Amino acid sequence: MRTDTEHTIYLKDYAPTPYRIVSVDLDFKIAPDTTRVRAQLTIEPREGTEPGAPLALDGEELKLEEIAIDGAPLVLSAYAADATGLTVIAPPARRFVLETLVSITPETNTKLMGLYRSSDVWCTQCEPEGFRRITYYLDRPDVLATFKVRMTADETLAPVLLANGNLVARGSLDNGQHFAVWEDPFPKPAYLFALVAGDLGSITDTYTTGSGRKVDLAIYCAHGKEEQCAWAMDSLKRSMAWDEKRFGREYDLDVFNIVAVSDFNFGAMENKGLNIFNDRLVFAKPETATDADYENIERVIAHEYFHNWTGNRITCRDWFQLCLKEGLTVYRDQEFTSDERSRSVKRISDVLTLRSAQFPEDAGPLAHPPRPDQYREINNFYTPTVYEKGAEVVRMLATLLGEAGFRKGMDLYFERHDGEATTIEAFLKVFEDANEVDLGQFKTWYLEAGTPKVTVSDTYDAESQTYRLSINQETAPTPGQPEKADRVIPVAFGLIGPNGSPMGWKGVSGGEVREDMIVLRDKSAEMTFTGVASKPVPSLLRGFSAPVNLATNLTQNDRLFLAQHDSDPFNRWQALQDVGLALIVDAVAGNEADEAAILALSAAMSDTLANNSLDDAFKALALNLPDEQLVGRTIGKDVDPAAIHTARKALLKAVFGPLVDRMYTAYATLASEAPYAPTTEQTGRRALRNRLMALMVTASPNGPALAADQYRHATNMTDRFAALVAAGVAWTADAAALLADFRLRFAGDPLVFDKWLAVNARAEDEGVLSRIEIILDDPAFPKNNPNRLRSLVGSFAMGNPVQFTRADGAGFRFVTQFVADVDTRNPQVAARVLTGFRIWPMLEATRREAAREALVTLKENENLSRNTSDILARMLG
């Protein structure tokens, strides 16, 4: 394996380019096999650039056919081109036009970066460094230029020709060719460039902004899928309205286009005025999409749209600042969903995602700060830390500053930095200036990796009516960061009295305590509350006010008390989870079962189910035990995933077994004849009903038959798929037959095939691996499609902890062999799947050794991509 340390890029080395690109004229001659790109770049030296200093442009897999400056062809000695770029040795010391003609082959572009062909459609993905695979350029986010794009293609092969901005001309040419010219008036970095050419259907609509600009909206897709784009369009219009209302941000062009393509490396891309989407995040109809799919589409449509301001109008100075746009935009899409649906349910779901995707990253060999200071391969930093933890950091800012203070800062951000490529420092500065606060210590959240552990313990003295809370923070070392600074941690809290009502206090000393929040700034604080009439139970970290692991001296009874009385829905949910977590951890340690706590948890679950003041979606989240990975992380070392799995399943039976009759009654009552709609009300109802069904599969002998029955009679994909997952994951007696039916019933729908693949990959039984191998070895399996590959192998590595970490190492070896193979075609998919190994250092010795062996064998491969070798090198430390 190449180690490529020479390629490491450091934040401290940032310097602007010696040249600026002012405007770009591109002319694409699109045709099967070879596409020609003529680029005219208007370039000028920046102030202070040595006259004649070399101009180094990025370029990859380009064939240079012509090169000229101001119309005069360059002699061979005036430039040098190699596999990474083109250097003009002594360019003019004034504004000039560099013209290049290159040819590229989108058809063979299996990396899906740059211009490629997906199901006959030409499309692009440029973020972060794909534009250099289209033409020679200063391919970095701090080079902002206006773009004019002319495209020519066969009128039958590509009747639709799209690029960024507004359409300024189009027409027919000889030989069945036609052309279109698009112009984007907003200067932008190359990573936001996009074009699409192909034979596509579309749906259209319009939106009128608050100030009266009429915007033409369109969603383009494969013919025949048009009616499946309606939900995405609806989501887009709601997003546009929300950003005006909540952040005062209007759309700024006359058109907004979205294109759905079937081969795409990740979710979607916010190219200016021309978002390109993985089609799984556009298409929805009740028969083939689940409620979760509908919610995901709504969320990602909103996310990409919100980037128009947080990402496009204000972009990143360099890729170290990625969370400037991603963390902030995830925060914005979370707020959108919270406003459109249920805030508390959204918060719980987001915390579940954070804990299952980001916490393990932060606790393992791939840990990095939201703003890293070095990288070998930037594609490997589109991570849960940059996205989800980045959003948590923004959320803490809003928590600390209050809604009004946060909005003042955002307003100043848009006012001060519109049109710029900027940094995290500039982002923090607007909040400091708008609120007259110092965020120096807060910045640590961006600079340091690792999830802080916050430990709290309390004591009460009845005689003096004083209540003491002692709190401290500790962050374990992460790769490259042995020492950790103290962070500012907002701990939203309340005290609850013996009757279940909130309790006040007379005075408080020893820490920064606001009405409903403790702000911890030091390593530890001892707070004394006076005038506390009786011993309270503290509700801590309400709403999950900071991305930390909380440990307390609360008893199981305290937790059960909170589950019943806390006014904060998040903490009611959390309290129940904590009771279950302690019980599973205990069981894995081989301690005698705390029968009283099990009974009490069972009763609490029963109360939750019966409680009419809770909504269904909340109940669906509450009637569960913490997932196995969370248990593993809580245990922390020498983890045996099989033992955790067994203990968790036993507890599920013990807690929910006694409730089966009640659950069945509720299940029957929740059935509905209403025609399917992805509304919050219906979604919650189905979520609870399907949750009960899944619980019964584990806790009742009749559960498997119930699941099979639900599968057969389902009238929408949400219910059908929930039953398939429950049966498939548990690998019930019917599982194979249901899977076979599912495959036939939806033959020809690739997105439903992904669902089928994922269930196959997550089955808990020993046979799963050989079944996956058979699926993958089928010559008809689409070996280059990221969705298919991730659904099968990604689901196995990330979503089947027991079989992936099999003690005989077969799961590990299967994944590393897959990675080695896919890496030759699509390094991004390979590297992403490999991150499933991030839990390996925590495993017990046999599994740990097996994982290490598989990784070391992979490392012997000489030809790994930079993407995969970077992950591998960090994984092995």
DSSP helix/strand/coil, 597:
helix
Q: Which is nearer to ligand ARG, 325 or 852 (CB)?
A: 325
- The footprint of ligand ARG on residues 309-338 (CB under 6 A) is 326
**Minimum distance, C-beta of residue 293 to ligand ARG, in the bound complex (Å):** 18
* Both tokens assigned to 686: 């189905």
Q: Measured between alpha carbons, how far is 47 from 70 in angstroms, rounded to an integer?
A: 21
On the CB side of 517, how many CA atoms lie within 13 Å of its CA?
17
Considering only residues 501 through 530, tell me which ones interact with ligand ARG, judged by CB under 6 A: none
State the Cα angle at 291 between 286 and 297, rounded to 5°.
95
Q: Which is nearer to ligand ARG, 130 or 704 (CB)?
A: 130
CB of 307 to Zn ion, least distance (A): 6
CA-to-CA separations, 654 to 599, 628, 659, 696, in angstroms, rounded: 8, 17, 10, 12
Instruction: Report 116-145 residues binding ligand ARG (CB under 6 A).
Output: 127-128
Considering only 101-109, 267-275, 342-350, 667-675, which stretch makes contact with ligand ARG by CB under 6 A?
267-275
Which of these is catalytic: 304, 326, 388, 392? 304
Which CB sits closer to ligand ARG, 377 or 734?
Answer: 377
The binder of 142, among Zn ion, ligand ARG, none, by C-beta within 5 to 8 A per type, is none
Nearest distance in Å: CB 300, ligand ARG: 8
Partners of 628 in the beta sheet?
none
For 774-835, the DSSP string reads HHHH-TTS-TT-HHHHIIIIIHHHHH-HHHHT-TTSHHHHHHHHHHHHHHTT-HHHHHHHHG
Give me the amino acid identity at 281: L
The yes or no reply on residue 864 touching ligand ARG (CB under 6 A) is no
For residue 458, give the nearest of 415, 405, 496 by alpha carbon: 496
The label of the residue with tokens 């579940």 reads 352
Integer Cα distance of 805 and 18 in angstroms: 50
Among Zn ion, ligand ARG, none, what binds residue 615 when CB lies within 5 to 8 Å by partner kind? Answer: none
What's the min distance (Å) between Cβ of 381 and Zn ion? 13
Contact call for residue 270 and ligand ARG (CB under 6 A):
yes
CB 380, CB 869: distance < 8 Å:
no
* CA-CA-CA-CA torsion sign (207, 209, 210, 211): negative
Binding to ligand ARG (CB under 6 A) within 368-397 occurs at: 379, 382
Is the CB of residue 86 less than 8 Å from the CB of residue 79?
yes
Pick the closer one to Zn ion by CB: 184 or 388. 388
Cα–Cα distance between 289 and 280 in angstroms, integer?
9
Q: Which of residues 328-387 bind Zn ion (CB under 5 A)?
A: 329
d(CA 78, CA 66) in angstroms, rounded, equals 13
Binding partner at 266 among Zn ion, ligand ARG, none, C-beta below 5 to 8 Å by kind: ligand ARG
Contact string (CB under 6 A) for ligand ARG, positions 283-312, x = contact: --------------------xx--x-----
Q: Minimum distance between the CB of residue 319 and ligand ARG, rounded to whole angstroms?
A: 10
Cβ atoms of 826 and 834 closer than 8 Å = no
Dist. CA 843–CA 658, nearest whole Å: 34
Work out what residue 781 binds among Zn ion, ligand ARG, none; the CB cut-off runs from 5 to 8 Å by kind. none
Binding segment for ligand ARG (CB under 6 A), chosen from 176-184, 266-274, 566-574, 740-748, is 266-274
Q: Which residue is nearest to ligand ARG (CB)?
A: 382
Nearest to 86 by CA among 123, 114, 130, 54: 54
- What are the residues facing 152 on neighbouring strands? 29, 179
**Pairing label, strands 453-461, 549-552:** parallel
Using the rule CB under 6 A, give the single segment among 264-272, 766-774, 799-807, 841-849 that binds ligand ARG: 264-272
Q: How far is the CB of 643 from Zn ion (least distance, A)?
A: 38
Q: Does 282 bind ligand ARG (CB under 6 A)?
A: no
The answer to whether 361 contacts ligand ARG (rule: CB under 6 A) is no
Output DSSP code: residue 389. I
Q: Which amino acid, 467?
A: Y
Q: How far is the CB of 772 from ligand ARG (least distance, A)?
A: 25
Residues 246-275 that bind Zn ion (CB under 5 A): none
- 60 makes contact with ligand ARG (CB under 6 A): no
Nearest distance, CB of residue 265 and ligand ARG, angstroms: 6
Burial of 728 (0-12, 13-18, 19+ CB in 10 A): buried
Residues 6+ apart with CB under 8 A from 762: 725, 728, 729, 768, 795, 796, 799, 800
Binding window for ligand ARG (CB under 6 A); candidates: 139-147, 163-171, 261-269, 575-583: 261-269
- Binding-residue total with ligand ARG (CB under 6 A): 12
Quick one: tokens of 122?
């030409």
Contacts 24+ apart (CB under 8 A), 678-681: 678/231, 678/284, 678/291, 678/294, 678/295, 680/340, 680/341, 680/342, 680/617
x-or-dash pattern for Zn ion, window 297-336, by CB under 5 A? -----------------------------x--x-------
Q: Is 729 in the site for ligand ARG (CB under 6 A)?
A: no
Tell me, what amino acid is at 235?
S
Nearer of residues 301 and 454 to Zn ion, judged by Cβ: 301
Residue 568 contact partner, candidates ligand ARG, Zn ion, none, CB within 5 to 8 A by sort of partner: none
Residue 483 annotated as catalytic: no
H-run or E-run covering 529: strand 524-530
3-state secondary structure of 291: helix
Residue span binding ligand ARG (CB under 6 A) among the ranges 86-94, 209-217, 263-271, 861-869 = 263-271
Binding partner selected for residue 128 from ligand ARG, Zn ion, none, CB under the kind-specific 5 to 8 Å limit:
ligand ARG
Min dist CB 315 to Zn ion, Å, is 12
Which of the listed partners (Zn ion, ligand ARG, none) does 188 bind, with a CB threshold of 5 to 8 Å by partner kind? none
470 in Cβ contact with 452 (< 8 Å): no
In the complex, least distance from residue 744 CB atom to ligand ARG, rounded to whole angstroms:
35
The span of 31-39, 234-242, 268-276, 348-356 binding ligand ARG (CB under 6 A) equals: 268-276
Give the nearer residue to Zn ion in terms of CB position, either 395 or 762. Answer: 395
Q: Residue 441 CB, nearest distance to ligand ARG (Å)?
A: 29
Would you state the structure tokens that stand for residue 617, as one six-digit string? 């979606």
Q: To which H or E segment does residue 336 belong?
A: helix 322-340
Told to check if 269 binds ligand ARG by CB under 6 A, we report: yes
Shortest Å, Cβ 15 to Zn ion = 26
Q: Which is nearer to ligand ARG, 316 or 802 (CB)?
A: 316
Asked if 266 interacts with ligand ARG (CB under 6 A), we say: yes
Q: Report d(CA 337, CA 185) in Å as an integer.
A: 31
Rounded-to-integer distance, Cα 465 and Cα 389, Å:
40
> Residue 222, Cα to own-chain centre: how many angstroms?
26
Active site residues: 304
The residues of the shown chain that bind Zn ion, judged by CB under 5 A, are 326, 329
The residues of the shown chain that bind ligand ARG, judged by CB under 6 A, are 127-128, 266, 268-270, 303-304, 307, 326, 379, 382
